[in-house]
Amino acid sequence: MEFSNELFEICTCRRFAVKIDLSLEADNNVRVQVANSAGTTRGGRRAMQRRPAQTAAGVSGNRRRIERCMIEIRPVQSDDLDALYRIALATGDGGADAAALYRDPKLVGHIYAGPYAKLCPETVFVAQDTDGVGGYIVGAANTLAFETRLEAEWWPDLRAEYADYADTPHAERTPDQRRVHAIRQPRRTPSEIANAYPSHLHINLLPRLRGHGVGRALMDRWLAAVSESGSTGAHLATGAANTRAIRFYTAYGFRALALVPHSVSGAVWLGIALRRDGPG
Ligand SMILES: CC(C)(COP(=O)(O)OP(=O)(O)OC[C@H]1O[C@@H](n2cnc3c(N)ncnc32)[C@H](O)[C@@H]1OP(=O)(O)O)[C@@H](O)C(=O)NCCC(=O)NCCS
């Protein structure tokens, strides 16, 4: 994504859109103004390195100019599924590209993307720019009910496709084998977490969309959707090493809840309480 060194703007459109206005100030901070479809706004500033003036065809590098880059936040559509699977893999190693880790490129998406798009598309939103869908937020308003639906409607076909590796000690399993084991014997969310924070989510952006307020815009839209369905809170699990994501969630208002039991990577649960009119 290219930005002018004077001003850039990311606009979104459609029914559930948010509009994100970003302008570069004299101190090299970017002013971020987010307006949701209800017309309310929230602002913020972030440090951003000023780039030298760019030269494009017919445009002098010294000439003041404005570029507009359209990023749309919209509900998922059935033909987004391949993009969701690609993004899940491209961010599947604690936020980094996991493509080199897996022989089967669909395993990560089978767990973290596909079932949400298929079973609860009303709580799945994507971010799309001129290069296509580059990010998503997926989740379920009612985690315990979703896990019950997974058992009935999602895992059976995959279990027929993938043989288990239960006989292989965990430490000796390959990444593919660990994912297959998670498909065959998924862990249920602890009831203390799911009762207090009934909804859960996963959010992933390709590198080109990170750091420009798109994550915050997706989170706003998703939390509004689960709030509207009556949820009183949302949770997620993230690797303790994914410091970027933890900073993002903490800046948004999530708080650490507890260590994830049996986690090899030291994952943590984070939660946010919801009021009827949004995050509290
Ligand atoms: C984590 C992620 C979703 C954040 O989305 P993002 O669009 O990059 O974040 P935003 O630009 O919306 O930032 C929102 C806030 O988070 C904070 N934040 C985000 N990235 C940060 C960073 N690297 N350092 C410090 N704060 C950061 C900022 O304070 C920002 O607040 P502001 O809007 O008031 O300035 C995105 O970077 C991502 O997809 N990463 C890779 C995949 C991943 O790790 N997913 C999470 C798995 S659990």
Q: What's the confidence (pLDDT) of residue 91?
A: 98
CA of 245 to the centre of ligand 1 (A): 6
pLDDT reported for residue 121 = 98
Quick: pLDDT tens for 60-104: 322 222 234 689 999 999 999 999 999 999 999 999 999 999 999
Q: Worst-scoring range by mean pLDDT, 9-13, 79-83, 270-274?
A: 9-13
Q: Whose CA is nearest to atom 44 of ligand 1?
A: 95
Residue with CA at minimum distance from ligand 1 atom 35: 46
- Report the pLDDT value the prediction gives residue 104, as an integer from 0 to 100: 98
The pLDDT, as a whole number, for residue 166 is: 79
Residue 22: band (very low, low, confident or very high) from pLDDT cuts 50, 70, 90: very low
Look at residue 259 in the predicted model and tell me its pLDDT. Answer: 65
Cα of 211 from ligand 1 centre, angstroms: 6
Report the percent of the chain where pLDDT is more than 70: 71
- Distance from the alpha carbon of residue 215 to the mean position of ligand 1, in angstroms: 6
Percentage of the chain with pLDDT > 90? Answer: 64
CA–centroid distance, 45 to ligand 1, in Å, is: 13
Confidence of residue 9 (pLDDT cuts 50, 70, 90): very low
Pocket residue to mutate for ligand 1, from 71, 244, 268, most atoms within 8 A of Cβ = 244
The whole-number average pLDDT for the span 115-134 is 98
Q: Please state the three-class secondary structure of 203-268 as a single string.
A: EEECHHHCCCCHHHHHHHHHHHHHHHCCCCEEEEEECCCCHHHHHHHHHHCCEEEEECCCCCCCCE
Q: Which atom of ligand 1 is nearest to the CA of 44?
A: 34
Q: 216 CA distance to ligand 1 centroid (A)?
A: 7
pLDDT tens-place string over residues 233-243: 999 999 989 99
Beta-carbon contacts of 206 under 8 Å, excluding residues fewer than 6 positions away, are 87, 90, 91, 134, 135
Taking the CA of residue 245 as reference, the ligand 1 atom at the shortest distance is 1
